[in-house]
Each structure stands twice: as structure tokens, then as C-alpha cells.
């Protein structure tokens, strides 16, 4: 089972260090793989029970890409895991599928483990149409090698991210069942996962773990979720 903490634009270098220290005490149950995606300024070669990944990366080794971070910078900290296609990058930062697929291809060539996010908008969800929903997810897989052996897919409905309102177990199960027809990769759910609902989510068939934003920023809550997952 995979539990991943996406810090987004939260935590500093100093607080990430404290977080990782606390996480060591919390420990790593055998059945769980823990991942942390801190902000770029907090990347380092940590001794940690968690695998440290990057929240994003430009599809180049280095070059004239102001404000971006590339393979050379990630290699310095031995980062071999990356998050791509997150809804905030798609919808707030305007990344289109073609660009995301280019990043995917680049980091795949570099041998990275890729956490790849997909998820429908509120409009699509509200339509109640299974066809529309599947077509939306399918479009987000365009240009993506779904057979890549180091791929993890996270289903994160846009309307459930950071809203406190998680998708229902049935919604999640349906989406994961659809994604399972597309890929043999581990499938995660993300979107307002917290200690109160994580057990129910992890029990969904086809659910191999969770990608957690808000509730993971407090290390005590993240530890609590690790403990809950351990018991399942």
C-alpha cells in the first residue's frame, strides 16, 4: 500500500526537516510505502522512511527555462520520483495534455517513478454521465505510457481536492475500475483524504493507496493515517 504526502506550496526547508525527523519516530509499517513531495526548496538527501519525490519538473536536463527545475537539479538530491499531471498544474498553471505527456516521456526516459494524476472537473461529475467521465479520464491518459513499470496513477477528482469533500466510495470504486481497464499500475485515490475517511477509502477494491494533501501537512495526522493503514 502507498501513502503519499503532497506538501504543495506548504512547509519550509526547516519545517520539512522537523517533519521528516518526526516521521522516523512514527516508523514505517512493512505493508506501507511512504512518499513525501516537499517543495523544491526543501529537497535534500534525507535519511527517511519516506521516499522523497519532486512535485514537478521541466522536461529537460538543464537550460534556459526561468523559474523551472530540471533533471540536473533533481539528480543532485538523488530524486528519482516525480508527481506529474496534478490538477493544480493542469487547471491553475495551465499545463495542457501535450506538455504533460512530454514531461512524462522525459522523466520516463530518465527512469523516474512517476505518480501521474488524473481526475474529472465538477462539471463533468455533475453531468452524471459515465461516458463523459470516462472520456475525460481517457483524454488525460493521452500520450502516457500506461504500461510503464514505474507508474503509479492517482485518481483525484478536481472538486474533491482541498475542499474537505471526498468522493464517495462508490464514485472512487467506479473510477478506479475504469482506470484498471487502462493500466496495471498501482491506483491511488486523492481528494480530501483524512484520518476520518482513510480506512473506508483504502478498503475500496482496486485502491492501492492514497495521495494526501491538506491532512498530510500536519505530521501527527499523517502518522495517524499510517497507523490506520497499518491495521487494515
In angstroms, rounded to a whole number, what is the distance separating the alpha carbons of residues 51 and 125? 33
211 binds ligand PGA (CB under 6 A): yes
Query: Which of these segments, 140-148, 184-192, 199-207, 221-229, binds ligand PGA (CB under 6 A)?
Result: 184-192
Give the residue with the Cβ less far from ligand PGA, 90 or 103: 90
194-198 own/partner pairs: CB under 8 Å, 24+ apart: 194/166, 194/221, 194/225, 195/221, 195/224, 195/225, 195/228, 197/166, 198/225, 198/228, 198/229
81 binds ligand PGA (CB under 6 A): no
101, 59 in Cβ contact below 8 A? no
- Give the DSSP H or E segment for 106: helix 97-109
- Applying CB under 6 A, among 213, 219, 222, 229 the residue interacting with ligand PGA is 213
209 binds ligand PGA (CB under 6 A): no
CB of 75 to ligand PGA, least distance (A): 25
- Applying CB under 6 A, among 1, 3, 6, 188 the residue interacting with ligand PGA is 6
191 binds ligand PGA (CB under 6 A): yes
- Applying CB under 6 A, among 156, 172, 183, 201 the residue interacting with ligand PGA is 156
Active site residues: 86, 156
127 binds ligand PGA (CB under 6 A): no
- For the stretch 85-94, what's the b/e string if a residue is b when 16 or more beta carbons lie within 10 angstroms of its beta carbon? bbbbbbeeee
- For the stretch 43-65, what's the b/e string if a residue is b when 16 or more beta carbons lie within 10 angstroms of its beta carbon? bbebebbbbbbbbbbbbeeeeee
Query: Which of these segments, 58-66, 94-102, 170-178, 187-195, binds ligand PGA (CB under 6 A)?
Result: 187-195
| CA dihedral for 73, 213, 12, 94, sign (positive or negative) | positive
53 binds ligand PGA (CB under 6 A): no
Q: Which residue has the cell 498530510?
A: 216
Closest CA to 188 of 169, 205, 209, 172: 209
162 binds ligand PGA (CB under 6 A): yes
CB of 140 to ligand PGA, least distance (A): 15
Q: Vertex 15, ends 14 and 17: CA angle to 5°? A: 70
212 binds ligand PGA (CB under 6 A): yes
CB of 5 to ligand PGA, least distance (A): 9
190 binds ligand PGA (CB under 6 A): yes
Give the residues lining the site for ligand PGA (CB under 6 A): 6, 156, 161-162, 190-193, 211-215
Amino acid at each position: 500500500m502507498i501513502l503519499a504526502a503532497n506538501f504543495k506550496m506548504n512547509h519550509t526547508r526547516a519545517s520539512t526537516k522537523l517533519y521528516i525527523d518526526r516521521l522516523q519516530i512514527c516508523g514505517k509499517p512493512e505493508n506501507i510505502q511512504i512518499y513525501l513531495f516537499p517543495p523544491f526548496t526543501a529537497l535534500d538527501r534525507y535519511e527517511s522512511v519516506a521516499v522523497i519525490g519532486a512535485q514537478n519538473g521541466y522536461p529537460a536536463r538543464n537550460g534556459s527555462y526561468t523559474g523551472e527545475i530540471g533533471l540536473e537539479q533533481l539528480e543532485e538530491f538523488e530524486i528519482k520520483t516525480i508527481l506529474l499531471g496534478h490538477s493544480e498544474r493542469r487547471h491553475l498553471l495551465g499545463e495542457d495534455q501535450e506538455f504533460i505527456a512530454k514531461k512524462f516521456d522525459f522523466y520516463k526516459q530518465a527512469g523516474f517513478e512517476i505518480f501521474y494524476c488524473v481526475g474529472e472537473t465538477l462539471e463533468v461529475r455533475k453531468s452524471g454521465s459515465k461516458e463523459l467521465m470516462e472520456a475525460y479520464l481517457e483524454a488525460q491518459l493521452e500520450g502516457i505510457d500506461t504500461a510503464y513499470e514505474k507508474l503509479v496513477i492517482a485518481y483525484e477528482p478536481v472538486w474533491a481536492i482541498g475542499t474537505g469533500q471526498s468522493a464517495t466510495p462508490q464514485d472512487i470504486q467506479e473510477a478506479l475500475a475504469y482506470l484498471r481497464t487502462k493500466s496495471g499500475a498501482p491506483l491511488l485515490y486523492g481528494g480530501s483524504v483524512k484520518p476520518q475517511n482513510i480506512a473506508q477509502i483504502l478498503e475500496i477494491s482496486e485502491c492501492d493507496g492514497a495521495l494526501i494533501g491538506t491532512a498530510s501537512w500536519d505530521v501527527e495526522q499523517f502518522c495517524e493515517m499510517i497507523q490506520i493503514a497499518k491495521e487494515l
